[in-house]
């Protein structure tokens, strides 16, 4: 790949949009470079299960015509994006990562994709996912494993692993993921990119395959906090088709993003660092020092004192609700679902109603505690490692639960329970050269502040600009 093409595919959304606006860059050239990058690299990565070359080039031509007419639809107009394969796309196969839906073709776009198209984004393809979004590796028994671009024998995280891998290697400039217990933020951490799980109800889920209506979030993934903010601007807004969509005022998430962190108070949660490896812990400590140098005060707080079972709470709620959504497939055609995911669904089927009800009540209590800890102590955001470990090896047998115990002890799921905005950004590397992630989480509806904190860190560091050596 030429240097010029390599520079194109690693442009930020903000910079690419500015170049298109100034008519120094054609959306067609940008899209062709992205599609060529997918063709050149995806045999090693398996980020995509479907590449939509013909429609993407047509969308790019339309974006180019708008740019020539000085009538662009906004900063995403002409920007190549990947879509996790649980988001319905009109006329394009959406498998939900399962064999049961191998030939399923939706007749309409889901709301998030419709909003991206309305903003002029170019959809280049559907990214691989863990089956039914029900796992943390993207080791898909039907469509093959996605590989981590930093080390090909490692997982990219899940369930939005295809989106994470694609972004790290220039196969897209932005992407959509979903997050029930960390499925945006885990791949962001393992692949060295950025991703935000917004406040619950901010971004519509209508037309997106459900795993858990209590915990599911849709949200953006990109290579920087600023680019995530640009995508979230397009995704936000009330949607009557989503029963949990919040009728909340929209805002420009980029408006105050350059405000810095001076005068803010940030807090580390000690219990959420307990299982971190020495390299992950060192990256967190260095991140704390960076924030202090930028003028923030960093303290500690323990809002989860006495609560040891929040991970079990997430698993209980998600398995029961996932079984409900997929009951027809499980009962009528079980072989079309892999054995490992069938086993997780069976747990939900066997869970007594009283345990599920208790988990729902406990979720509300934890949400209240996580919110009050920030408000009562004047804290702007929590800081914890996104994942306690870096990317671990891909299990050769995709049809079993291959996640090692240390990786299950992360903090991400608590912020699905609390429904607070939670963002992962790259903050270092371990001794093997694998990325580490920093999780920044704030009070509900402070998504703009979380993005601002992340952006301040990225203005002071260069971890988010690093490229996997194999693909640089």
3-state secondary structure of 48: strand
Task: Find the Cα–Cα–Cα–Cα dihedral 321, 322, 328, 332, rounded to 10°.
Answer: -130
CB contact at 8 A, 163 and 126: no
pTM tops 0.95:
yes
Q: What is the pLDDT of residue 4?
A: 53
- The parts of the chain modelled with pLDDT lower than 50 are 1-3
Q: What are phi and psi of 439, to 5 degrees?
A: -100, 125
The pLDDT value given to residue 287: 98
CA 68 from chain centre, in angstroms, equals 33
Distance of CA 376 to CAs 45, 272, 303, 372, Å? Answer: 46, 20, 11, 6
Packed helices 27-45 and 53-68: angle between N→C axes, nearest 10 degrees = 150
Which residues are catalytic, by number?
Answer: 84, 159, 183
The predicted pLDDT at position 56 comes to 98
Which string of b and e fits 1-32 if b means at least 16 CB within 10 Å? Answer: eeeebeebbbbbbbebbebbbeeebbbbbbbb
SS3 57: helix
Q: What is the pLDDT of residue 122?
A: 98
Prior bond of 51 cis (ω within 30°): no
Contacts for 163 with CB less than 8 Å, ≥ 6 apart: 47, 82, 84, 127, 172, 175, 176, 177, 187, 221
Domains defined for the chain, CATH in brackets: 3-471 (3.90.1300.10)
Please give the share of the chain, as a percent, with pLDDT higher than 70: 98
CA 172 – CA 133 distance, rounded (Å): 20
């Amino acid at each position: 790949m030429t240097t010029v093409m390599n520079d194109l595919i690693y442009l930020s959304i903000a910079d690419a949009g500015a170049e298109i606006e100034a008519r120094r860059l054609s959306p067609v050239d940008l899209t062709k470079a992205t599609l060529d990058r997918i063709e050149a690299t995806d045999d090693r990565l398996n980020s995509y299960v479907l590449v939509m070359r013909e429609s993407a080039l047509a969308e790019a031509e339309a974006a180019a015509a708008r740019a020539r007419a000085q009538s662009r639809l906004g900063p995403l107009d002409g920007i190549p994006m990947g879509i996790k394969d649980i988001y319905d796309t009109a006329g394009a196969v959406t498998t939900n990562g399962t064999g049961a839906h191998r030939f399923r073709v939706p007749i309409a776009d889901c709301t998030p994709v419709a909003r991206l198209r309305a903003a002029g984004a170019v959809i280049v393809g559907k990214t691989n996912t863990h089956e039914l979004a029900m796992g943390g590796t993207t080791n898909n028994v039907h469509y093959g494993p996605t590989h981590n671009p930093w080390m090909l024998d490692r997982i990219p995280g899940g369930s939005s692993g295809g989106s994470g891998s694609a972004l790290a290697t220039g196969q897209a400039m932005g992407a959509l993921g979903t997050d029930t217990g960390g499925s945006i933020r885990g791949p962001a951490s393992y692949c060295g990119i950025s991703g935000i799980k917004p406040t619950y109800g901010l971004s519509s889920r209508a037309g997106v395959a459900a795993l858990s209506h209590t915990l599911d979030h849709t949200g953006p993934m990109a290579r920087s906090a600023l680019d995530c903010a640009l995508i979230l601007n397009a995704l936000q807004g009330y949607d009557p088709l989503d029963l949990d969509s919040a009728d909340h005022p929209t805002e420009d998430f980029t408006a105050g993003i350059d405000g810095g962190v001076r005068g803010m108070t940030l807090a580390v949660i000690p219990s959420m660092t307990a299982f971190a490896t020495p390299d992950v812990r060192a990256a967190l400590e260095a991140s704390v020092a960076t924030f202090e140098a930028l003028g923030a005060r960093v303290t500690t707080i323990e809002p989860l004192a006495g609560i040891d079972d929040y991970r079990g709470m997430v698993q209980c709620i998600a398995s029961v609700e996932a079984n409900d959504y997929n009951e027809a497939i499980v009962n009528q055609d079980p072989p079309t679902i892999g054995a490992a995911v069938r086993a997780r669904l069976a747990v939900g089927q066997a869970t007594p109603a009283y345990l599920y009800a208790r988990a729902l009540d406990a979720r509300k209590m934890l949400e209240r505690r996580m919110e009050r800890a920030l408000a009562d102590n004047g804290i702007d955001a929590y800081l914890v490692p996104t994942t306690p470990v870096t990317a671990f090896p891909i299990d050769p047998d995709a049809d079993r639960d291959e996640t090692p115990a240390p990786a299950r002890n992360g903090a991400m799921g608590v912020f699905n329970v609390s429904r607070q905005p939670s963002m992962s950004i790259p903050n270092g590397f371990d001794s093997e050269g694998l990325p580490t992630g920093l999780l920044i989480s704030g009070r509900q509806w402070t998504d703009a502040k979380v993005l601002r904190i992340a952006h301040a860190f990225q203005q002071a560091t260069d971890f988010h600009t690093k490229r996997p050596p194999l693909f640089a």
